[in-house]
Amino acid sequence: MAINMKGKSLISINDLSHEEVWQIFEVSASLKQKRLTGEPHRILEGKTLGMIFSKPSTRTRVSFEVGIYELGGIGMYFGPNDLQLKKSESVADTAKVLSRFLSGIMIRTFDHQDVVDLARYGSIPVINGLTDLLHPCQVLTDLFTIYEKKRQLRGLKLAYVGDGNNMAHSLLNGCSKVGMDISIASPSGYKPNEQIVNDALANAKYMGSKVEIVDDPIQAVKNADVVYTDVWASMGQESEAAERKLKFQKYQVNPELVKNAKEDYLFMHCLPAHRGDEVVNEVADSPNSIIFDEAENRLHVQKAIMALLM
Ligand code: CP
Ligand code: NVA
């Protein structure tokens, strides 16, 4: 039976049940098919999505805006200088005001707590479009994409090589939620958040899967079904880029490293990629790479999320 998710916010994958995650995937597949065959699916006719961006974006911005339009609604973009938010108005007051106008809010910002507070003080669904801590829409899309390619999630192994950042955190949440093994290799000082690792360990115990945090990228990639990486310096960390580049050299995803993965491994990256740093062209453009299918699926999965929550 369908689970009613109407009115809920999506701030972390860990807030979703296993069943809710699969419901998102089912609706994503159905909306993807409808778009392909030109079948109308204006489920959100007359609805408005506010899209708050304190950081730049290509995929998130375009896929949410196209997505809400295709569902029959309208998206309103607010860039870093458009709202009074956190300049002359609190998050709480902004949440209360926007709730009087909009049907939902998608927000990309720095401080994760701002997203939590927006949902807490507002009365409409809030969708996390990336914070310094998490990127749940990306990882729901990633899992959906892996499922499309492999027709299974449980029992597969994902290796994440690189910074213990928002992507690593949401992958820990997401993989452990669906019973995929996850192994993360990061240099010391750049390991993922301990609380998130502990939550993932608890999920994994329940699902019978594994969570491993290691130093050695070869160990992480060994027999992996999916090899994932992300930029070494995230948005907001630009001033650390040179220092990080030195510290992360060993963590580049290149042909030598992926030899340790399964032969039919999938290469994934949330993008934007800094080619020549965390990944080289020989891997990013190889037949194993599914980075552009992954990017496209942002549209289908976020349409499903909006359709279910709004
Ligand atoms: N992967 C992703 O979120 O891309 P953008 O930063 O372009 O939105
Ligand atoms: N870790 C990256 C992800 C971009 C989609 C960042 O936060 O900049």
Q: Is the CB of 55 under 6 A from ligand 1?
A: no
Q: 75 — phi, psi (to 5°)?
A: -105, 140
Q: Is the pTM of this model over 0.95?
A: yes
Strand order in the sheet with 226-229: 211-214, 181-185, 157-161, 226-229, 266-269
pLDDT of 249 > 80? The answer is: yes
Looking at residue 148, what is its pLDDT?
A: 98
Q: Is the CB of 231 under 6 A from ligand 2?
A: yes
Mutate to test the pocket of ligand 2, among 61, 138, 193, 235 (most ligand atoms within 8 A of CB): 235
Give catalytic status of residue 298 as yes or no. yes
270 is catalytic: yes
Any catalytic annotation for residue 300? no
Identify the residue with better confidence: 211 or 85. Answer: 211
The predicted pLDDT at position 218 comes to 98
Share of the chain above pLDDT 70, in %: 100
For a mutational test of ligand 2's pocket, the pick from 166, 193, 244, 268, i.e. the residue with the most ligand atoms closer than 8 A to its C-beta, is: 166
Q: Would you give the end-to-end CA distance of the chain in angstroms?
A: 19
Which amino acid belongs to residue 22?
Answer: W
How far is it, in rounded angstroms, from Cα 148 to Cα 158?
A: 15
Strand, coil or helix: 213: strand
Mean pLDDT of 76-102: 95
Set out the domains of the chain in order of their start, with CATH numbers. 13-134+296-309 (3.40.50.1370), 138-292 (3.40.50.1370)
Is the CB of residue 201 below 6 angstroms from any atom belonging to ligand 1?
Answer: no
Which pLDDT score is estimated for 86? 83
Whether 105 and 116 have beta carbons less than 8 Å apart is answered as no
Ligand 1 mutation pick, 51, 55, 57, 230, max ligand atoms within 8 A of CB = 57
* Residue 236 alpha carbon, nearest atom of ligand 2: 8
pLDDT tens track for 153-173: 999 999 999 999 999 999 999
pLDDT tens for 51-66 read: 999 999 999 999 999 9
Please compute Rg for the chain using Cα positions.
19
pLDDT tops 90 at residue 123? yes
Neighbours of 45 (CB within 10 A): 8
Which atom of ligand 2 has the smallest separation from the CA of 130?
7
